[in-house]
Structure 1
Amino acid sequence: MISIYSILGLLGAYLFGSIPTAVWIGEAFYGIDVREYGSGNAGATNTFRVLGKKAGIAVMLIDIFKGWTATNLAYLIGLSVTGPQTSAQFINYQLALGITAVMGHLFPVFAGFRGGKGIATLFGMILAVHFQAAMICVLIFLVVLILFKYVSLGSIAAGFAFPLSIVFVFHSPYRSVLLYGMCICVLILVTHQKNIERLLKGKESKVNIFKKTAS
């Protein structure tokens, strides 16, 4: 049963997701809108590229926190998780909150509906829903990034690692989590379409995480 509190929770999740971290940090501390440079996205990767590591790390952590916080709003709604059926309902509501937050990041009301690709916010959501699977995603992302130096390729690989780990490693009893994982794969492919085209053409920008930048 949908209550007014459930609807308010979804609204709160969207507003959390809509916080344009990259845009606000760029304008407040650097006097520029990151969407006018680099890839044109208001996300952590483009912030790293345009503003450097300090700003990029700050944006990434806050965007992860956005997804984690929005997903955990389920605990404030007061849903019971005392039985298998209610546990499934709780997980489903968490997923709904997280997806709404990601939509807020993609289409932020506070920044003219021009946001980022939602990877960090997605990760925050995965952290809240399934911490162990999230850690596998981190491992896959880092391995791909270190080996190939493509953030986009690491993000795509990590996104596909989530549903695979849910099925073959953790054997989650919740079908909605698996369905969500499959939706993640589709979303990542859609939002990274241009990156995939550049990867195929060998024109995607590489990132060396061990390279020291001048202070």
Structure 2
Amino acid sequence: MEFFLTIFINVGFFLIGYLIGSINTSIVFSKIFNKPDLREYYSKNAGATNSLRVYGTKSAVFILLIDIFKTFTMVLICRLISYGINSRITPEFIERTKDVSLISNKLFLIPLLGGLGVVIGNIYPIFYNFKGGKGVATSLGFLISINIVLLPIASVFFFGLMFWKRYVSLASIVTAFVMIFFCVIPWISEGPLGWITGLQVGYFWVTIITFGLAATFLIYSHKENIKRLLNKCERKFGVN
């Protein structure tokens, strides 16, 4: 029972995150504020970068912050649920059922699966024919939930590359890839600032796998951008 409960709750984290991620902020924004559908303009992508081109800076920043907040909040909620289960519910259940040994240990719950679900839902939203954004803002929210220290590190790589090469897509791809290696550092997810992950010492590999998967989906969603970069026909930032 312990095994099945662990699987059930972790899958629940992921699926709820996926459904929340599938509620595309850009598309909802366009419907609420009577804005044009950005899926019909420029890159036709329902993400923060294209919203900057279509809606302008203020709207794009708003959409970006909502996507970041959405992922961070999902991981935080999953963390609080995990804490509640393992600090209150599970000990009481162990005591009541110790004679039949239904549950003998705390459950191995992974709040980061909620964040992974949001990222994948943002890229492949079930509510919009699996055509959404590219997971950049939601992945940033994922990084912040792992450890706030990753925010300035990712910002240095992203903005440094963007202003150097003028390609948002290249900056997003490289930053996502590089940040996987920072997740290898145990302190990142197991230290005091990584408390939201809920991981015990020795389990930092969970962070590597979950963010590694998120980064893989992000990079794959940029496959057309990669082709244009290789053919030297990718649109540069600030150039229409």
Unaligned runs of 5+ in 2: 88-104, 190-201
- Which residue does the alignment assign to 2:223? 193
- Which residue does the alignment assign to 1:48? 52
- Taking structure 1 as the reference length, what is the TM-score of the superposition? 0.82
- Whole-Å Cα distance in 1 between the matches of residues 218 and 126 of structure 2? 21
- Secondary structure at the aligned position of 1:73 is classed as helix
Q: From the superposition, tell whether residues 9 and 95 of structure 1 become closer, same or farther in structure 2 (CA, over 3 Å).
A: closer
Question: How far off its partner does 1:79 sit?
Answer: 4.2
- Whole-Å Cα distance in 2 between the matches of residues 95 and 11 of structure 1? 12
- Which residue does the alignment assign to 1:178? 208
> Aligned AA for 1:198?
R
Select the residue among 158, 175, 180 that pairs with 1:141: 158
- Secondary structure at the aligned position of 1:61 is classed as helix
Question: How far off its partner does 1:197 sit?
Answer: 1.0
Moved more, 109-118 or 140-149: 109-118
Q: Identity rate of aligned residues, in percent?
A: 33
- Which residue does the alignment assign to 1:75? 79
Unaligned runs of 5+ in 1: none
Which structure 2 residues correspond to residues 85-124 of structure 1 after superposition, within 5 A?
A: 89-90=108-109, 93-124=110-141
Q: Does residue 34 in structure 1 map to residue 38 in structure 2? A: yes
Q: Deviations over 1:157-214 (max 9, x none)?
A: 1101212222369576411212234324422321111111111122111114xx9xxx
Moved more, 28-37 or 50-59: 28-37
Q: From the superposition, tell whether residues 39 and 176 of structure 1 become closer, same or farther in structure 2 (CA, over 3 Å).
A: same
Conserved 8 A contact 1:17-1:70:
no
In the alignment of these two chains, the number of paired residues is 203
- Whole-Å Cα distance in 2 between the matches of residues 201 and 135 of structure 1? 31
> Aligned AA for 1:59?
I
Q: Does residue 205 in structure 1 map to residue 227 in structure 2? A: no
Q: Does residue 64 in structure 1 map to residue 87 in structure 2? A: no
- Whose Rg is larger? 2
- Taking structure 2 as the reference length, what is the TM-score of the superposition? 0.74
